[in-house]
Amino acid sequence: MIEYALLFAFSCYGLALLMNIYRIIQSPGPGDRILALDTLVINAIALLALFGILEGTTVYFEASMIIAMTGFISTVSFTRFMLRGDIIE
Amino acid sequence: MMIEILVSACLVISGIFGLVGSFGLLKLPDPMMRLHAPTKATTLGVGGALVASMLYMHFINGNFSFHELMITLFLFLTAPVTGNFIAKTHLHLNHKASDLPPTSTDRPWATYESDAMREKIEAEEDASAT
């Protein structure tokens, strides 16, 4: 039963990633592009967690922790750049 | 059997929430509405996936770890911060300070206050306090 649920979750997140990529390519403004990139990172973390369940290992949690940190820092620096034109003042 | 049902339910809920969060990003009409969909729903989606993984690792694989809780905690802490920053970016790119309603004090909205103006007002307040 877990296999079918995993398959369902994988396909959901795959579709979600495609939607995010579409939103990054065709977006009404730069703010939406930043938001779509942030969502892309969060969906990638969820995909890594699902892949960890599929493989039955815990080695992917360090990777997803680092991806979460990098995503947060990059989103904040993107928005700082949009607001101030400068990242570190 | 019970654990399998629980893990499968967590996985299905997580998948649905992830999909709805990203679909709301495409579907909702206003920038501020679009901000609402992913920052809330996707965080719950990732939370479901991580809870499912924690249950699976503990009960079926037999090794318990706290890493998933750390990721969930980190995402719960950072999601409001990124949401606030993106909302400020939307506000500054699409609206002027004159579009907003008055604050009914002599200071403007805090986001639109320039650094020089804030320093001047705070220096005046310090001077009047002493």
Q: What is the pLDDT of residues A28-41, one digit of tens each?
A: 888 888 889 998 99
Q: Would you say residue A86 has pLDDT above 80?
A: no
Tell whether A20 is within 8 A of chain B (Cβ): yes
Sign of CA dihedral A17, A20, A22, A24: negative
Cβ distance of A45 and B4 shorter than 8 Å: no
The first and second tokens of residue A35, run together, are: 């938001």
* pLDDT confidence band for A52 (50 / 70 / 90): confident
Give the pLDDT score at A11: 93
As a whole number, mean pLDDT of residues B11-33 equals: 88
How big is the CA angle at A50 (ends A54 and B47), to the nearest 5 degrees?
145
Residues of B in contact with A61 (CB under 8 A): 65, 67-68, 71
| Chain A interface disruption, residue of B85, B92, B115, most A CBs within 10 A | B85
Question: What's at A76, amino acid-wise?
Answer: V
Q: Give the three-class secondary structure for B48.
A: helix
Domain edges within chain B: 2-94, 99-130
Q: Is the pTM of this model over 0.90?
A: no
Q: Rounded to whole angstroms, how far apart are CA atoms A40 and A33?
A: 10
